[in-house]
Structure 1
Amino acid sequence: MENFKMVAKTFFGFEEVLEKELHQLGAQNVQKGTRMVSFSGDKGFMYKANLALRTALKILKPIHSFKVFNEKGLYDGIQKIDWSTYLNNNQSFVIETTLYSEAFTHSQFVALKVKDAIVDQFREQTGSRPNIDKDHPDLRIHIHIDRDLCTVSLDTSGASLHHRGYRTATNIAPINEVLAAGILLLSGWDGNAHFLDPMCGSGTILAEATMIACNIPANINRKEFAFEKWQDWDSELFDTILESLLKKTKEFHYTITGYDKAPSAVRKAKDNLINANLDEYVKIEQEDFFESKKEVQGPLHMVFNPPYGERLDIQMERFYREIGDTLKQKYPNTNAWFITSNLEALKFVGLRPSRKIKLFNGKLEARLVKYEMYEGSKRAKFSSPTQSV
C-alpha cells in the first residue's frame, strides 16, 4: 500500500504530545505545526491513527493544493480534481472551511463556490449530481485557505475524535475527552501509580486515565469514522488493524478512583465507565474531596478539573484555598495536577506550582498546574543524605 500525507489537528499546547503519540504509533515524516501535526502513512495507518490517537481531534488527508487569488481561481482549482475518484453522483457530501485570507473572508461563500465546482463537474460528465448532506454525508471535504494557498483535504474522521462513544451522561461543564487525554499525557500519567480524580464529574478523566494505563485504543467505543463510507473502504484491513491494537493492551496493577460529592455525578460517571467497558478498573465514590484524605500507600497521581466559576455558583477564593489546604494536610507523596481558567483564583491555593502550562478549555485561556506534595517537608526531602544530586 502506498504512503500519503495526513494532518492530525489538535488543541493548542498538545502539539508535542501528539507528535510523540504519532512516533510511538509508527508514523513517518512527522512534523509539528500549530494546533496540528503532519505525518505520512498508508491506508492501514490512517485507520490506526483514527482508532488510537488520544490527542487528535481530526485526521485530514490532503488531496490537492493550488494558489488562489479570486473566486474564479478557486472554482477552476476545484474543477481540476477528478471527483469521481472519491464520490459518485448518487452520494452526498459536505464542505467545511478554514480561512486565513484577505481575499476570502466568508466561509459560506467559499463552501458554495467549491460545491458549484464539484456538482458542475458531475453534471457535465453524468447528467446528474451528488447532494449536500450536512448531517450524514458520504464524503466530508475540508478546504483550508492560508493567504493564497488552498489545500483540499478529505476528512477521514467525521465528527470530532473527542466523540469517543462512551459518554452518554454528562454533568454541568463536562471536560472534552481529547482535552482530558492531553492533560493526562502532559502530566506524565502512564499507569505506574495509584490514580485519583477527586472531582470526577461525569467520569471523563477517569475513562481516559484507564485507557492510557491499559493501552486501550482511545476510539475503541466510537460508532463510526468518515472513511467507512469511502469507495476504497476495506473492512478486513480495519479489523486486522483493530485486532493488532487490542493485542497490545496491558494489565494494570494499581487503583483508579473517582470522587464527587454530587450523587447525580457519581451515577453518571458509573454509567459512562460501564459504557466504556472500563468499570472493573475504576472505583467511584460519593465523597467531598475537602473531607477526604489519601487512602493508598506509595505515590499517588491526581488529576482533576475543578469548577471555574464560569457556569457554577461557588465562592472561588474559599474553594481554591480549600484545594490547597486539603492537598497540604491530607495528601502527602502526591503529584496533583489540575486545569483552571480562573487564573485569579489560582493565587488562593497557597502553594507554589512546580509547573504551569498554558492551554485552552474551549475558548477560555487556562493553566494546567502541578503541585508536588512531599511525604515530610520539601526541605527535609532535599536535604536528606540519601537524596542523589
Structure 2
Amino acid sequence: MPTFFATCARGLEPVLAEELLALNAGDIVPGRGGVGFSGDQSILYRANLWLRTAVRVLQPVLEAVVLDSDELYQAVQGIDWTKYLTPAHTLAVDCNVRDSRITHSLYASRRVKDAICDQFIAKTGKRPSVDTDRPMLGLNLHIHRDKAILSLDSSWDSLHKRGYRPILTVAPLNEALAAGLLWQTGWRGDVPLLDPMCGSGSFLIEGAWLALNRPPGLTRKHFGFMGWMDYDVRLWAEMRDEARTQTKKQLPAPIIGRDIRGDVKDFAAVNAKAAGVGHLLRFEKADVRRFQPPEGPPGIIVINPPYGERIGEEREVKILYREMGKAFAAAAVGWQVFVFTSREAPWREFDLPLVKTTPFFNGKIECHLLQFRP
C-alpha cells in the first residue's frame, strides 16, 4: 500500500507518476488529483525537493468514515499523537470538505485540533498551541462523501510557490502546471523553447530549471517536515548538496520569451532573475501575430493565449487566434506548436493540422494542451 500521496492539478497525474518513477518511488498509484506512492524518509524528502508538478506531499495517518463531527473527533482521538508531536509543538489543520454530511471545513478542522489537544491534556496536563502560518506539525484533512483522510503535510506551503514570482501579470499560469505542460510536450531542453506570449515567464523559468536539472525546491527555506520529530537535518543537507552538484551551468539550447508589451516582458525578466536564470534566457518585445522564428534550428513553441472569457473579448480573441494561426503557418514550419487554452476558446481558428489533444484543468477551467503542425 502507498505510504504517501502527492497532490496535483487534475490532468497532471500521469506526469506526476512519471516524476515519482524517476525518483525510484514504489507502489505508484495514480488517482484523482494526485498519485499515491511508497518509500522511506529519503523518498519523502526527494519528493519535496524534486517534484515539479506536485502541490503538496502528504503522509496519511487516518482513514475513516465519519458521519458527523463527533465521529471525526473519536476517530482522531484513536491515534497516539505522542508519536508525531509534543506539547511544545505548534500545529495547524488545513481542511477541505466535499459532498459529505460534515459541511463546515473550519469546524471540522477545529474538531481535529480539539481531539489532539484534549488527548495531550488528559495524558500530560499540557497541550500543543496553534500556529496557522508556520506550524511545526501541519495536518491536512480531506473529507469526501463522508470518508475522512487525515494526513501529515510534509510540504505545508504549496510546492508550486517557487519563490521567484513576486510580480504577477494578469491570470498567471501556475508554476507546477507550467512545468507539467512542458513535460507533456516531450521537451527536455535539447532543442530551442520559445514562448511568444510569455506573460510572467512561467514556461521559460520552469523550462530552464528542467533543462539545467535544477530541482524546484533547491532554494526553498521551509518544508513542513522540518518541524517533525524525526526530521533528519544531515540527510536533508546531503540531499541538497548532491542536487547542487548535479545542476548544470549552461542551457543545452536557447530559451526565448517574447511579449507585445514591453512592461510584461520586463516583468518576466525580473522573475527569471529571481529564479537565478535571468542571465541564461533571452527576452524580446514582439507581436505574436507577426511571428518570425529566431535564428538557428527549430524547436518547440508553447503558448498560453487569452481564453476570451471576459465579456466583450470573444471577437478580439477569435481574431487573435486566427492571426496567430496564419503567422505560425507562414513562419513556424519545422517547429512544434503547443497551445494551452480552455475548451471554450476559439482554438479552431488556428486552422492548422491538429496532432494531439490532452485534457487538463487550469484551476476550475476545463482546458486542453493542443499540438499543431504548421
- Bin for the TM-score computed over the shorter chain: over 0.9
RMSD between aligned residues:
1.9
Give 2:276's aligned residue: 277
Aligned counterparts of 1:244 and 1:28: Cα–Cα separation in 2: 22
AA of the residue aligned to 2:58? L
Is 2:2–2:28's contact at 8 Å kept on the other side of the alignment?
no
Q: In the alignment, is the contact (CA less than 8 A) between 2:4 and 2:58 conserved in 1?
A: yes
1:245 Cα deviation from its structure 2 partner: 2.4
CA distance in 2, matches of 1:345, 1:134: 43
Count of aligned pairs between the two proteins:
371
2:211 and 2:252 in contact (8 A); partners too: no
Task: Give the SS at the match of 2:60.
Answer: strand
Residue type of the alignment partner of 1:163: K
**What are the superposed Cα offsets for residues 325-373 of structure 1, whole Å, 9 maximum, x if unpaired?**
1100111101011111262411211223211122111111112111112
- Distance in 1 (CA, whole Å) between partners of 2:110 and 2:227 is 23
Match of 1:339 in 2: 340
Shift in Å, 1:107: 1.6
What's 1:327 paired with?
328
Cα displacement (A) at 1:294: 0.9
Q: Which moved more, 1:211-220 or 1:290-299?
A: 290-299
- Structure 2: where are the runs of 5+ without partners? none
Paired with 1:73 and 1:343, the residues of 2 have a C-alpha distance of: 43
**Secondary structure of 1:179's aligned partner:** helix
Moved more, 291-300 or 173-182: 291-300
Partner in structure 1 of residue 119 of structure 2: 121
2:306 matched residue in structure 1:
307
- TM-superposed deviation, 1:195: 0.9
Question: How do 1:87-102 and structure 2 match up within 5 A?
Answer: 87-102=85-100
Alignment map for 1:1-389 (pairs within 5 Å): 5-250=3-248, 251-310=250-309, 314=313, 315-341=316-342, 343-373=344-374
Gaps of 5+ in 1: 374-389
For 1:311 and 1:238, the matched residues in 2 are separated by 46
Check whether the contact 2:301–2:335 (CA below 8 A) recurs between aligned residues: yes
Q: Check whether the contact 1:165–1:223 (CA below 8 A) recurs between aligned residues.
A: no
* Post-superposition offset of 1:146: 3.8
Q: Name the residue aligned to 1:382.
A: none
Aligned partners of 2:166 and 2:271 also within 8 Å = yes
One-letter code aligned to 1:269: A
Distance 1:36 1:280 in 2: 35
Contact 1:198 1:289 in 2 (8 A): yes
Amino acid at match of 1:240: E
**What SS is found at the alignment partner of 1:49?**
helix
Once the two structures are TM-superposed, the CA of residue 313 in structure 1 deviates from its matched residue by: 6.9
Provide closer, same or farther for how the CA distance between residues 220 and 297 of structure 1 changes in structure 2, counting only shifts above 3 A: same
Task: Indicate the SS of the match to 2:54.
Answer: coil
1:97 and 1:290 map into 2 onto residues whose CA distance is 45
The Cα offsets for residues 220-244 of structure 1, whole Å up to 9 and x where unpaired, read as 2323111112222222111111122
What percentage of residue pairs aligned between the two structures are identical?
36
Shift of 1:75: 1.4
